Structure 1
Amino acid sequence: MRSKKERLAQAGLLELGGILIVAPLSALVTGHDLASMGSLAVVMSTLAVIWSTVWNWMFDRWVPTRQRSATQRIAQALGFELGLVLVTVFIVAAWLDLGLWQALLLDLGFVAFFLVWAMIFNPLFDAVMSRLLARKAAREQQLAPHNTR
């Protein structure tokens, strides 16, 4: 199981990487300035970090392993994005002065981006964490006093 610290690191790194990619892309695609799209991305990301922490904690309870199938990864990513869009579509509409339909379409663009990003990022994060935890366990084993009976 993941620790709270690991869950926060996972969510934070996922969102930070996403902001750095999606803000300039969305500004380019929508014609809104980078400052508006960047600050919107930060607000949405803050909400996403909170939701991600809660969602991944729940998902870890349902699927308590790091070795997840592609179907489980898709369920993890879709559950996160669908929960988030219920809140963010209204924020996007207000922030960019858009109608709900336009905001939903833009929000779905964010969802599509982050869905792909999460499916790339999460397995990489798990692989890195598995290696780090294995190294830590090996170091601890080497440092433990040897029982010589």
Structure 2
Amino acid sequence: MASASSSAAHTVHSSSAAPRKATGLQGAKRRIIYVSLYEAIAIAVSSLIFIAIGQKASDSGIMAVAASVIAICWNLSFNHLFEKWEARQTVKGRSVLRRVVHAIGFEGGIAAMLIPLMAWWFNITLWEAAVMEAGLLVFFMVYTFAFNWAFDRLFGLPASAQALTQ
């Protein structure tokens, strides 16, 4: 059996090679299903977390939805960029390390956007919002990792993480 790199080299040099065909859910449909499922769960859980730490239910729900809208925009942007980077990698698949890097990158970016918003919305200091976000971050790091793993198991890997097929 040829290695992925020799298969890739063969594809580059052969003009009659069949185009790469990814398996599983791909493209825009994959992203829409991914974001919809991820954020629906995130809104429910984060609303409950805000309420559990003493915020009003109405404020908690609005903040959870606002955070979700921001997260959807970030999610689409971040995952697009991540998959472009991933497609250029010689090692295909999603190792634990790659999944951890993905989760840290996503959650770090979202925290930078949400801390000032939470401070303003809940009328708390940036420090209090950072502490609140740190608690949410722990949950969402685990949630993001587990959700991505489960999503990939159910729907298959995106084309960017699949080995070349002919």
* TM-score above 0.5, yes or no: yes
Where 1:63 maps in the other structure, the secondary structure is helix
What is the alpha-carbon distance in structure 1 between the residues aligned to residue 54 and residue 75 of structure 2?
A: 29
If the length of structure 2 is used for normalisation, what is the TM-score?
0.72
In the alignment, does 2:75 pair up with 1:55?
A: no
Matched residue, 1:16: 40
Q: Are 2:59 and 1:36 aligned?
A: yes
Cα shift at 1:12: 2.1
Q: Which runs of 5+ in 1 are unaligned?
A: 132-149
- Larger proportion of helix: 1
Aligned counterpart for 1:117 among listed residues 143, 148, 162: 143
Larger RCO (alpha carbons 8 Å, 6+ apart): 2
Quote the residue 1:85 is aligned against.
111
Distance 1:67 1:129 in 2: 14
Query: Once the two structures are aligned, what percentage of the paired residues are identical?
Result: 28
Aligned residues: 130
Q: How big is the shift at 1:26?
A: 2.4
Alpha-carbon distance between aligned partners in 2 of 1:52 and 1:6, rounded to the nearest angstrom: 13
Q: What is the distance in 2 between the residues matched to 1:48 and 1:129?
A: 22
* Aligned-partner Cα distance in 2 for 1:66–1:53: 21
The amino acid of 1:73's aligned partner reads R
The RMSD of aligned alpha carbons is 1.9
The answer (yes or no) to whether the contact 1:7–1:57 under 8 Å persists in 2 is no
Structure 1 residues 57, 82: CA separation in 2 closer, same or farther (over 3 Å shift)? same
- Superposed structure 1 runs of 4+ greater than 4 Å apart: none
